[in-house]
Amino acid sequence: MIQHRAFRVEPWAVRETELHQDLLAQTESVFALSNGHIGLRGNLDEGEPFGLPGTYLSGFYELRPLPYAEAGYGNPESGQTVLNVTNGKLIRLLVVDEPFDIRYGELRSHERVLDLRAGVLRRTAEWVSPTGRAVRVTSTRMVSFTQRAVAAISYEVEPIDDAFPIVIQSELVANESMPQTEADPRAAAALAAPLQSEDYIAIDSRAVLTHKTAASGLRLSAAMGHVIDGPEGTESNCEAFEDMARLTITGDISTGQPLRMVKFLGYSWSAQRSLSAVRDQVGAAQSEAMHRGWDKLLAEQREFLDDFWDRADCEIEGDEELQQAVRFALFHVLQAGARAEQRAIAAKGLTGSGYDGHAFWDTETFVLPLLTYTVPRAAADALKWRHSTLDLARERAQQLGLEGAAFPWRTIRGQECSGYWPAGTAAFHINADIADAVHRYVMATEDDAFDRDVGTELLVETARLWRSLGHHDASGRFRIDGVTGPDEYSAIADNNVYTNLMAQQNLRAAADAAGRHPEVATRLGVDAEEAASWRDAAQSMVIPYDDLRGIHPQAEDFSEHDRWDFQNTSPEQYPLLLHFPYFDLYRKQVVKQADLVLAMFMRPDSFTDEQKMRNFAYYEALTVRDSSLSANTQAVLAAEVGYPELAYDYFAEAALMDLDDLEHNTRDGLHIASLAGAFIAAIAGFGGVRDHRGALSFAPRLPEALSRLVFRLSFRGRRLRIEISHAQARYTLVDGEPLEIEHHGQKLTVDGRPLTRKIPPAPNLTPPKQPPGREPARRRPLR
Amino acid sequence: MIQHRAFRVEPWAVRETELHQDLLAQTESVFALSNGHIGLRGNLDEGEPFGLPGTYLSGFYELRPLPYAEAGYGNPESGQTVLNVTNGKLIRLLVVDEPFDIRYGELRSHERVLDLRAGVLRRTAEWVSPTGRAVRVTSTRMVSFTQRAVAAISYEVEPIDDAFPIVIQSELVANESMPQTEADPRAAAALAAPLQSEDYIAIDSRAVLTHKTAASGLRLSAAMGHVIDGPEGTESNCEAFEDMARLTITGDISTGQPLRMVKFLGYSWSAQRSLSAVRDQVGAAQSEAMHRGWDKLLAEQREFLDDFWDRADCEIEGDEELQQAVRFALFHVLQAGARAEQRAIAAKGLTGSGYDGHAFWDTETFVLPLLTYTVPRAAADALKWRHSTLDLARERAQQLGLEGAAFPWRTIRGQECSGYWPAGTAAFHINADIADAVHRYVMATEDDAFDRDVGTELLVETARLWRSLGHHDASGRFRIDGVTGPDEYSAIADNNVYTNLMAQQNLRAAADAAGRHPEVATRLGVDAEEAASWRDAAQSMVIPYDDLRGIHPQAEDFSEHDRWDFQNTSPEQYPLLLHFPYFDLYRKQVVKQADLVLAMFMRPDSFTDEQKMRNFAYYEALTVRDSSLSANTQAVLAAEVGYPELAYDYFAEAALMDLDDLEHNTRDGLHIASLAGAFIAAIAGFGGVRDHRGALSFAPRLPEALSRLVFRLSFRGRRLRIEISHAQARYTLVDGEPLEIEHHGQKLTVDGRPLTRKIPPAPNLTPPKQPPGREPARRRPLR
């Protein structure tokens, strides 16, 4: 955990003013750059020291065997793991004859800034070599949002009141040696030297390395090209080997006579295309980038981000730290999804190798809502990736003896990679989560082409899964037994409320979609009987309720179980999964992450206000938040049932997850879903936004510390701006046709003129208790 | 499966009159010899061809890593696996210059006989070498019941109407190359060259090899000595190497001038003793055996078995095949347990490496009742082994956050070796099964010393486990949630009836034992409050009942689940676990093996007759018997509720499990618990024996085909003989004080005079149906 804040609080940047070597791995994640296709961890230009070297390409993986102590039918035999690909970030510097290495000599100053509007990482270091040569090194790194296959680095070296020779080595390095990963199940598995050289070329200041993976058979080319601007006499030479290409620049620099270089990187990979095709593609990308030049790339990057902020910015007054955190969150979610383009958006984005680089349900549940309301094209792309894996999901369903499609719990390419089925395959809710994201996207965008070509098939195949997974009991109720809901401290339970409510919506949405697109329905073999059977199952869905306690049990009989002994659980025993067997966690009332509470957010109309209040209190007392996928949902429900201050605490936790390294594993990559969740907590919590599938409602209410909240939404072709203060909310239609909305239950039509409405006073309620020691930190804003 | 019967039907022998090479692995298991300490598979003397070479020592294992695709707290990191130790059975023969190998030349005749009264395996082969030399080879193999560390082989070669030179090589071979094992999870894992040589010696006709395992650090010595009796000029020479010792005998034999040799084998191992200590021990054993000589060993073996049959024989008239099968079963259970002496009795005994040589709950549940009533000392020894592992079980309980002792689901030495916790650690019922075996043994023997020194502590520590595993709910009922019962097609369920009833008995038995032995209770820290809390938990134990269906659900909500689609399950899809995911099995009503039905046998007084009838019918329709641990219990309950013909079918299935290879895996070793279960089915099914913890009752009734059943029981110092015909039962006290028993509900006292009582007529009921295709084979007796 970052004990003292590592970053300065600024509205539009994350600035580290001093290099903390012990925090290197964390800051590499925080300073990671990505466009959703290429990801570069914030490793130092010179490569060392490092926490975890990382260069990733979306969808590029190697296979690794999944071992089992005892075999079981249907267990996947191999898993996919993200690879650290050819490192093009590497720029080594020799000052006279000493390598620039911050561990030696004297580091007079060191600053890194992630500029959220420019979309670059800037670094400035002043260093004195062990023999006393002072030098200023400046670099600016960018992964281009507009040129998907391109990254670039501007690098400058200048002596401070001195003159001396330097050597710069700008490299491509494949199969970097990686640090030993730990035994923590959440840390990713490392693979040794996974890239096999196929080809290497160096010409002038350019080089290309091409490799192939042994097991997954994916081919990768990485290219670099350089523009060098140095004092007279500066010379360069480029050479390539199997796992390394190197441009060596020698020059004599002096104060006012720096050596500057721009490095243009291109990355390309394919599962099918030939060596020459992949190599040519990357060469073309890199040439085009050089042709455009650094300044143009910078300008395009800024333009892209200006547009994004225009559509997505969330302004917070009264807590500067959270203002920064929410923008940081939005920026990284954009980085993860902007150009993923029909590849999976991983839980860590492309910021680290945690979770083996896999995508889970949280992409659909937390990330896609954000993208749907801000960058809808990216949301569509992510769902098109799911659509492209339908054949694999159908195969998996068949293997499991089910109809329709069973999407994988964790994957890169689409195959199930979960090696522990009670918290993997059994978590079938992922299918309803995908359906929910489809349904939300279609309702929020009215994108008919997507609905017809992509969405309907996803809804139909997931509905078929539910229909075959559940059954009608003797009294005609539709049960879904033996599945695992979102809470990973329960498993294999009957009639998980979240799962059943999401499946219910899935079944209905599929019947509706089949009705909207009869030609698609026909092609998929859906007839009236099948659609009716979906509606019938949805109608008869079992939703357990505990009359005695007046609450919804998370799953059938959940509230009959023993409560976890929170009193005798010490702070060091969290997260519980590292200190107690699943056996014990599963059989007791203890909740890792919002499950029933998430159900209340996702299906708000299925609960009365009083049920929400009682359920929320009941689960607050059981929820330990050993997952980063909890605080944001607790924030939303806390706000809804009338605890804005508690919501504020949870919102802060979600937003600061990575900047403050709250789960001690930011080193493995950022918690993209928690970051997305921070935005959701802001708009759905303090803004009270609910999307009733085509109808937006708002119930804004700020916590005491915040004086103003402004956010934007794209919805059905409109762009809305919502500005909230303690007393009132102001709704502005920035663009598009008039739209009917609700404000605290009152219907309004927003058109050309901003509408201002009063906010009813908050009830004065005493919030419920959390398990001892698991209360969210009481938020005290920096102002 | 043995398609045509491989063995001739005889009352006291299992005879194979022809060698089926395709059945070698199965017959090696069937012809295995063991005394519970040493186990020799029925491999051919000359070593090849083989199905699976096997020489085992009880408790001798190597460690192997247990891998997991996803780590979890409490998963054991290494497992124990039985080793094929130094092979002393090997006797090769060269006829002139051709090796005796039944795959070449002509095998004129080949017979193997397992003699159940002599306790030896005899073999006679007449073979003509490829160049036309005819020879008769005769061998008799024995593992001594009276000399625990000793085995011996008498080997004779004689030409048939000819004379020629031969060479015999009698060997000890360590690290034999083993066949590749299959992917079937039930087959054992192979380990390559696990034995590391420490020492080798050859003197005269004797040799000793000493090895140590790399990971488990166990030391093993194997010794051989020979007595040679050949024609004049016979010479021998003995030599030893790291992994091999060899006595070479050369001689010229002719008709009437055979060469005969007796090989005496000694085995010894230790985890602690020094090289010289272990080597000396084995030398001493082997010398003592040679000193005794072959004939004396044979005579002692016979005497041991005569006594056993006197106490344990079960006579069946009307079905010769089952007569043979039951004696075969008794013999092998004796072999597994006779001299195990405080080591585990494995699921396969010492007949094969299946299940890695592990012991499971079925030893206590099926094997120990048989031993308790026939060879009670062996039952006590098996429980003393459990007692000796109490420290490990306490550690495991602590690791799992529980009180008392948590015995391992599968183990050799005592550490948990289960790598799949839902069907391993979660199957806590093993603790109650051990307690049940303790309680039964104490009640059936009145062995006070055992009760005080061994039993009470086992009962107390398992009771503590249950008390901490369950909890009182809001209405005061004691629940045991999230555990797995005997049926492995369900897992992690709440209030499994079998588990709860067995735990209830365990809790009460512990309180009673603490009362009987207050000084032990004090030493263990049991006070009146603790004992009262056990009685209270037992009294409040939740036993779910389904009012709607009028049956006991196997576990809470079980009967709400979807029924397995038996109609659409094809015969090739059994066993289901190899063709369907656990996920699907667990969530549906399908039963691998008796669970609720076993509860009705183990706790007969907890069910009314009508409940037994209805429950039996309900579970018959769901039970597929993919486990060998089911038919025998179904036989008992079928007989009890009034279906003697169905009981007969199930009895036959249990009894013929291995002789007919019904589960297609006898190659990996015998199903010792199923064999024991055959005896239980006979006495508790047709004899109607129930042991009400100190009081024996009988409710005999034979199926139509059987005309007479005689069995013996040892009980509280008495020996009883029970003879049953269709019309009547005759109770004879062979030895001991008069005993009060019940016959079909009527109280009797058996004393010096045999008592004859009429058997009430059987009801005429239509038996319930099994899942289609899973009916037991309709038994048609050979007469």
Model confidence over B39-56: pLDDT tens digits? 999 999 999 999 999 999
- Measured in Å, how far apart are chain B's first and last C-alpha atoms? 23
Residues 67 to 86 of A: which have CB under 8 A from any B CB?
Answer: 67-76, 79
Q: Across residues A45-64, what is the average pLDDT?
A: 96
Which residue from B minimizes the CA distance to A575? B73
B426 touches chain A (CB under 8 A): yes
Which residue from A minimizes the CA distance to B561? A481
Cβ-defined contact of A74 to B183 (cutoff 8 Å): no
Contacts of A547 (CB under 8 A, 6+ apart): none
Residue B189 has a pLDDT of: 46
Q: Is A466 left (phi over 0), alpha (psi -120 to 50) or beta?
A: alpha
Cβ-defined contact of B67 to A68 (cutoff 8 Å): yes
Over residues A738-747, the pLDDT tens digits come to 999 999 999 9
Q: Across residues B259-265, what is the average pLDDT?
A: 97
Residue A693 has a pLDDT of: 83
Q: Where is pLDDT greater, at A524 or B70?
A: A524
Instruction: Give the DSSP letter string of B727-749.
Output: SEEEEEEEESS-EEEEETTEEEE
Question: Alpha carbon of A620 to those of A86, A555, A625, A662, A768: distances in Å?
Answer: 46, 16, 10, 19, 7
Mutation test of the interface with chain A: which of B63, B64, B73, choosing the one with the most A Cβ atoms within 10 A? B73
| Token pair 């993923």: residue | A340
Confidence of residue A185 (pLDDT cuts 50, 70, 90): very low
Please determine, for residue B493, whether its predicted confidence score (pLDDT) is greater than 80: yes
Q: Across residues A607-613, what is the average pLDDT?
A: 97
Separation of alpha carbons A644 and A702, rounded Å: 7
Least reliable range by pLDDT among A63-77, A128-142, B257-271: A63-77
Cβ-defined contact of B471 to A562 (cutoff 8 Å): yes
Residue A184 has a pLDDT of: 39
Separation of alpha carbons A238 and A221, rounded Å: 17
Q: Across residues A414-431, what is the average pLDDT?
A: 96
Residue A7's nearest CA partner among A780, A673, A658, A671 is: A658
Residue B12's nearest CA partner among B433, B302, B255 is: B302
Please determine, for residue A183, whether its predicted confidence score (pLDDT) is greater than 60: no
Q: Which of B171, B416, B488, B556 is catalytic?
A: B488
Shortest Cα distance from B689 to chain A (angstroms)? 38
Contacts of A296 (CB under 8 A, 6+ apart): none
Least reliable range by pLDDT among A134-143, A173-182, A455-464, B655-664: A173-182
Residue B179 has a pLDDT of: 80
Residue B231 has a pLDDT of: 95
Facing B421 at nearest CB: one of A562, A579, A583:
A583
Residue A190 has a pLDDT of: 44
Please determine, for residue B485, whether its predicted confidence score (pLDDT) is greater than 90: yes
Instruction: Indicate the Cα dihedral angle B300, B306, B310, B315, nearest 10°.
Output: 150
ipTM of the complex: 0.90
Residue B183 has a pLDDT of: 46
Residues 576 to 635 of B: which have CB under 8 A from any A CB?
Answer: 577-584, 586-588
| Token pair 């609080």: residue | A9
Separation of alpha carbons A385 and A365, rounded Å: 15
Least reliable range by pLDDT among A5-19, A392-406, A516-530: A5-19
B479 touches chain A (CB under 8 A): yes
Q: Across residues A634-663, what is the average pLDDT?
A: 96
Separation of alpha carbons B251 and B260, rounded Å: 11
Please determine, for residue A762, whether its predicted confidence score (pLDDT) is greater than 80: yes
Please determine, for residue B738, whether its predicted confidence score (pLDDT) is greater than 70: yes
Q: What share of chain A is helix, strand, coil (3-state, %, to 5)?
A: 35, 25, 40
Residue B340 has a pLDDT of: 86
Known active-site residue A488: yes
Residue A7 has a pLDDT of: 92
Facing A473 at nearest CB: one of B483, B560, B586:
B560
pTM: 0.94
Confidence of residue A763 (pLDDT cuts 50, 70, 90): confident
Q: In what order do the strands lie in the sheet with A314-317?
A: A314-317, A708-715, A718-724, A728-735, A755-758
Q: Checking DSSP bridges between strand B61-65 and strand B55-57, what pairing results, if any?
A: unpaired
| pLDDT > 70 in chain A, percent | 98
Residues 161 to 200 of A: which have CB under 8 A from any B CB?
Answer: 183, 185
Burial A674-695 (b: 16+ CB within 10 A, else e): bbbbbbbbbbbbbbbbbbeeee
Contacts of A368 (CB under 8 A, 6+ apart): A379, A382, A383, A437, A440, A441
Residue B690 one-letter amino acid? R
Residue B65 has a pLDDT of: 87
Residue A137 has a pLDDT of: 98
Which residue from B minimizes the CA distance to A422? B583
Over residues A295-348, the pLDDT tens digits come to 999 999 999 999 999 999 999 999 999 999 999 999 999 999 999 889 999 999
Chain B residue numbers with beta carbons less than 8 Å from the beta carbon of A74 are: 580-583
Residue A182 has a pLDDT of: 42
Residue B213 has a pLDDT of: 95
Confidence of residue A782 (pLDDT cuts 50, 70, 90): low
For Cα atoms A567, A571, A577, give the angle at the middle one, nearest 5 degrees: 95
Cis peptide leading into B49, omega within 30 of 0? yes
Confidence of residue A527 (pLDDT cuts 50, 70, 90): very high
Q: Checking DSSP bridges between strand A588-589 and strand A562-563, what pairing results, if any?
A: parallel
Residue A193 has a pLDDT of: 86
Please determine, for residue A400, whether its predicted confidence score (pLDDT) is greater than 90: yes
Please determine, for residue A100, whether its predicted confidence score (pLDDT) is greater than 80: yes
Residue B719 has a pLDDT of: 96
Question: Alpha carbon of B88 to those of A229, B54, B213, B290, B313: distances in Å?
Answer: 81, 10, 18, 15, 32
Confidence of residue A65 (pLDDT cuts 50, 70, 90): confident
Chain A residue numbers with beta carbons less than 8 Å from the beta carbon of B586 are: 482, 492
Separation of alpha carbons B616 and B598, rounded Å: 10
Separation of alpha carbons B673 and B629, rounded Å: 7
For Cα atoms B743, B748, B750, give the angle at the middle one, nearest 5 degrees: 110
Residue A114's nearest CA partner among A30, A36, A26, A43 is: A30
Question: What number of CA atoms fall less than 13 Å from residue B251's CA on the CB side?
Answer: 26
Residue B1 has a pLDDT of: 37
Greatest Cα-to-Cα distance within chain B, rounded to the nearest angstrom: 89
Please determine, for residue B328, whether its predicted confidence score (pLDDT) is greater than 80: yes
Residue B180 has a pLDDT of: 65
Least reliable range by pLDDT among A112-116, A463-467, A585-589, B182-186: B182-186
Confidence of residue A4 (pLDDT cuts 50, 70, 90): very low
Cis peptide leading into A575, omega within 30 of 0? yes
Residues B734 and B726 sit within 8 Å (Cβ to Cβ): no
Over residues B448-471, the pLDDT tens digits come to 999 999 999 999 999 999 999 999
Over residues A496-509, the pLDDT tens digits come to 999 999 999 999 99
Please determine, for residue B158, whether its predicted confidence score (pLDDT) is greater than 80: yes
Which residue from A minimizes the CA distance to B74? A581
Q: In what order do the strands lie in the sheet with B33-34?
A: B33-34, B38-40, B55-57
Structure tokens at A295: 């300044």
Q: Across residues B617-630, what is the average pLDDT?
A: 97
Over residues A687-729, the pLDDT tens digits come to 999 999 889 999 999 999 999 999 999 999 999 999 999 999 9
